[in-house]
Amino acid sequence: MCVRLARNLFKTSDFIQCQKLILAVSGGSDSLALMFLVKEHLETLSVPPEMIVVTVDHQLRKESTREVETVAKICRVHHIKHIAVRWEGEKPKTHIASSARVARYDLLVKEAQKQGASVIMTGHTLNDQVETYQMRYQRLQKNRGALHGEVGAMRDEVYSSGFAGVLRGEADGIRDENHAREIRKKITKKNDSPLYERGLSCIPREALLHRKVRLIRPLLGVKRQTLRNYLRLQGQTWIDDPTNEDRNFERVRVRQSLHPEKLAYIAQKINEAALQRRQQAKNIADLILALDITVQHGRCFIAKPALFLQKHSSFPFVVGLFAVLMGGGFYLLPNQKLSMLVQKLCLDSVEKKRFTYAGSVIEYNKHGISLWREGRNMKEAIVEPDKTFIWDGRYQITNHGSKAIKIGAANLEQLKFLLKNSDFELEKPHFPSLQSLLMISNHKGYDIPELISRAVVHKHVIIKRIMAPFDWLSSREDAALVNVLEPFFNIEVKR
């Protein structure tokens, strides 16, 4: 059983170009089983990567330090390199579980980069997967009435009018009819299904952390009891976390209410949802490529689409997606909000209309749709030397200089002065969107890196445009979509 279990868990691609591998091990049964199974598998490889076990001490319970020492002792016995890292600082009063998760992954990525590891593996099991599905499904059920009505309205509006209001017109954007037919065939092949809840695909087997380090979860198809039986055969005990029985946590309540016989059924539902999410990502990517979209100087413009593109069931998702990305949002819009977006966009008017949504201003007329960051809640911040800061969910600023810098939104008067006194020219400046650009300043002056090609005041600073919903953790299921989006936001300025 042990040999068969270890043999079926890993893919050859898990270890490609991997010289060092981080295993997140808490001492619980799942992560300890992962450690021994990986060790067994690596012994079968001709050139295995170095395995490094990392234990995160969240410092939330008094037993945590002793548990870290227990893992370290097990690793010493089995000649495995072990590193302990701590979640330092004041802990939040609420949302402790989610905050600890973010801190844990951030610490794992930091250690992976320090060690030169390209892969992190965690011990999430089929039980974790099913519990996640059940929690998300129950939340979805609570809103079922509203979602049923609004998603139905969205579908009816999309198919009957195809954004006919301001965007009505013949398909004159594509002159070559043969080319139009080919694109139409490709992106409308499976265009008769409504947008589903992406979250029901649950935990992906593979993801990308910080756009840098692969996160792989090999045990997602294995029951926790199977792993515990495996550990017993190894003569290995594990640590039981008392919070796993604390009914104050939603996951514990769901776990205790789940019947074991439902695991296989829900697992199948998750697999179907993952395949659907992957297919939808490809469909949306094809639609984005077929549309005429530009992102420049803080503004996104979607030119008036041909009618068959307007009728695409994913068109609302694309508009909502770019609204989130331009507005610096961290989460994509759920179906309920997408249906509200459709209702706003489907106004039958030839005049220019404007509204705010997902942190963005959305303006549309007979020429198409413009989106830019809403002009509020863009707070100033200080970036100290040798620190990295995420500003407004849109920019990552790394200060390699010797002095602190101030960052914030571009000031209108300073913006006009820079445009007037630099070699940068804009034929028709759109100041509302230009004012959403990042401005760096100190006592010597100010600089808007996206507009000015040379450093005016600041040096040793790196500014990178990010896509917040995909920057911290990007699922493999969304790879096709992310690959298409990246060129729109591939902005990196080094001073």
Cα 220 to Cα 316: distance, rounded to the nearest angstrom: 32
329 annotated among ligand-binding-site residues: no
**CA separation for the pair 211, 280 (Å, rounded):** 21
Query: b or e along 192-209 (b: 16 or more beta carbons within 10 Å of the residue's beta carbon)?
Result: eeebebbbbbbbbbbbbb
- Among 225, 23, 208, 234, smallest CA distance to 121 is for 23
Instruction: Consult the annotation and say whether 149 binds a ligand.
Output: no
Closest to 42 (Cα-Cα) out of 12, 83, 75, 17 = 12
Asked if residue 423 belongs to a known ligand binding site, the reply is no
**At what angle are helices 29-42 and 224-234 packed, to 10 degrees?**
60
Measured in whole angstroms, how far is the alpha carbon of residue 408 from the centre of its chain? Answer: 24
Strand partners, 475: 207
Q: How far is CA 424 from CA 150, 299, 301, 463, in A?
A: 46, 17, 21, 19
Q: Is 193 annotated as a binding residue?
A: no
Residue written as token pair 């998750």: 270
Q: Are 110 and 22 in contact (CB under 8 A)?
A: no
Among 67, 74, 84, smallest CA distance to 39 is for 74
Q: What is the DSSP string of 388-434?
A: EEEETTTEEEEE-SSS-EEEEEPPHHHHHHHHHTSS---SS--HHHH
Annotated binding residue 99: no
**Beta-carbon contacts of residue 151 (< 8 Å; ≥ 6 apart):** 194, 195, 335, 336, 339
Residue 359, annotated as binding a ligand: no
Question: For residue 455, what are the contacts with CB-CB under 8 A and spacing of at least 6?
Answer: 447, 495
State whether residue 239 is helix, strand or coil: coil
Closest of 409, 344, 413 to residue 381, by C-alpha: 409
| Binding site per annotation, positions for ATP | 26-31
| Binding site per annotation, positions | 26-31
